[in-house]
Amino acid sequence: MSCHGRAGVAAGYAPTLVGVVGRHAGSVAGFPYSQALKNSGIVWSEPNLVKWIADAPGMVPGTRMPHVSITDPAERLYLREYLKTLSPR
């Protein structure tokens, strides 16, 4: 949560992940996404989230996200399940 907050843009670093499942990539207002991500056409489905968590720069070359790829498949699934709990209320 140091980069992605529960509301708005956390400390100016990253958009909220609340409601990320099913959202179009690069679509949170007020965040300066890379053109690569905005133009990717990606919808954050469960499979796409797992791919992104595994290798964001490989999935969208030119993304600005300074991401350390998570190599453990179980950890990627845990993170996906957590993201599913972050729904707007």
**Torsion (CA) 74, 77, 82, 83 in degrees, nearest 10:** 150
pLDDT of residue 29: 85
14: three-class secondary structure by DSSP:
strand
Q: How high is the mean pLDDT in each 10-residue block of the chain (89 residues)?
A: 62 79 92 92 96 92 83 94 86
The separation between the first and the last C-alpha atoms of the chain, rounded to the nearest angstrom, is 18
pTM: 0.85
What token pair was written down for 53?
């968590």
Give the amino acid at 88. Answer: P
CATH of domain 1-89: 1.10.760.10
Which pLDDT score, from 0 to 100, does residue 87 have? 82
User: For the chain, what are the domain ranges?
Assistant: 1-89
